[in-house]
Amino acid sequence: MVDLHAHTDRSDGTLSPRGLVDLARQTNLAALAITDHDTIAGYDDAAPYAREVGLELVCGVELGARYDGSAIHVLGYFLEAPPDELFRRRLEELKQARRERNERLAERLRSLGLDVRVEEAEALGREQTGRPHFARLLVSKGYVANYREAFEVYLDEQGKGFVPRREPSLETVFGWIRDARGVSSWAHPGRFVRKAGSKPEESFQALAAHGLQAVEAYHRDHLPEESKRFDLAAQKLGLGVTGGSDFHGPTLGGVPLGGLHLKDELLERLRSFSRSLYPAA
């Protein structure tokens, strides 16, 4: 069993990178990909430990991009080697852009009468502080009843406190991943396809034309029959296929780590797909 989509507390997950590796072993996963939002710090931290305890750990990342007025998430999988310095610098720039946004977001929330300082969110967010950490802060201060309400009332694009951040375009993100010899995969495409009311085949093809290389057919948001359809559509277009639980922590709902029961073969297929994209120099 493998799981190719999971977050640590280096982004918005709640387990430490080592804690996630321990859980993966308890769950008897053959391989795990850490795919934190905009950072590979969790992978860097977990990699030596995973080697020590004999868990196959894949270096991944989840990047946000703008497409057609929607926020799209793109996974990157680095199967040959973790990304180089250039890619790491690009992540650093994203972190800086988010930090600037967070300052403005805290100001905006204060102007709405909420006592929120950016340092308080950063204390929860460590490497990568984003809106999820602001959401937790608003819950803990009693301004909203729960995480969902924090987004609905304040943090969503329709929320009172929303402040946009500079987000790279899809082409930019695909290019960054390709430059680092990674495989890009459209994370949880079901959300977009449903919202747009589009045919998955057409959306996949449209993104492939922008440089997309694979599709996350298997995700907890997808019904089993949707996953099948996404898998077949991706294969028809010559795209790779990925899948994972999008695990954020044992207390955060969703499916458990490994909860999609994905076969080892999924990672083997991704590996040969990566080799077909980047033949050994």
Q: Judged by CB under 5 A, which stretch of 26-34, 92-100, 184-192, 203-211 contacts Fe ion?
A: 184-192
Closest CA to 214 of 148, 274, 134: 274
We find the least distance from the C-beta atom of residue 106 to ligand AMP, in angstroms, to be: 12
Q: Where in 35-64 is the site for Zn ion (CB under 5 A)?
A: 62
From Zn ion, ligand AMP, Fe ion, none, which one binds at residue 156 (CB under 5 to 8 Å depending on kind)? ligand AMP
**Which residues are CB-neighbours of 7 under 8 A, at least 6 positions away?**
13, 34, 35, 36, 37, 42, 62, 246, 247, 248, 249
We find the least distance from the C-beta atom of residue 56 to Fe ion, in angstroms, to be: 23
We find the least distance from the C-beta atom of residue 44 to Fe ion, in angstroms, to be: 19
Quick check: 73 binds Fe ion (CB under 5 A)?
Answer: yes
Quick check: 40 binds Fe ion (CB under 5 A)?
Answer: no
Q: Judged by CB under 6 A, which stretch of 48-56, 107-115, 129-137, 210-218 contacts ligand AMP?
A: 129-137
d(CA 93, CA 123): 20
Q: Which helix (H) or strand (E) holds 215?
A: strand 214-219
- In the complex with Fe ion, the residue whose CB is nearer, 157 or 264, is 157
Could you say which DSSP state residue 255 is in?
P
3-state helix, strand and coil shares in percent for the chain, rounded to the nearest 5:
45, 15, 35
Q: Judged by CB under 5 A, which stretch of 69-77, 95-103, 108-116, 141-149 contacts Fe ion?
A: 69-77
Quick check: 151 binds ligand AMP (CB under 6 A)?
Answer: yes
From ligand AMP, Fe ion, Zn ion, none, which one binds at residue 64 (CB under 5 to 8 Å depending on kind)? ligand AMP
**Which residues are CB-neighbours of 260 under 8 A, at least 6 positions away?**
3, 218, 219, 220, 243, 244, 245
The mark string for 10-29 relative to Fe ion (x by CB under 5 A, - otherwise) is: --x-----------------
Which member of 3, 12, 127, 246 binds Zn ion (CB under 5 A)? Answer: 246
Report the DSSP beta bridge partners of residue 62. 37, 75
Sheet holding 70-78, edge to edge: 2-3, 31-34, 56-67, 70-78, 183-186, 214-219, 240-244
We find the least distance from the C-beta atom of residue 52 to Fe ion, in angstroms, to be: 27
Q: Judged by CB under 6 A, which stretch of 40-48, 126-134, 197-205, 236-244 contacts ligand AMP?
A: 126-134
We find the least distance from the C-beta atom of residue 281 to ligand AMP, in angstroms, to be: 35
Burial of 39 (0-12, 13-18, 19+ CB in 10 A): buried
Contact 13, 247 (CB under 8 A): yes
d(CA 118, CA 131): 11
Quick check: 132 binds ligand AMP (CB under 6 A)?
Answer: yes
d(CA 49, CA 110): 42
Q: How many residues interact with ligand AMP (rule CB under 6 A)?
A: 10
What size, in residues, is the chain? 281
Residues in the site for Fe ion, rule: CB under 5 A? 12, 73, 187
Residues in the site for Zn ion, rule: CB under 5 A? 62, 246
Residues in the site for ligand AMP, rule: CB under 6 A? 12, 37, 64, 98, 130-132, 151, 156, 165
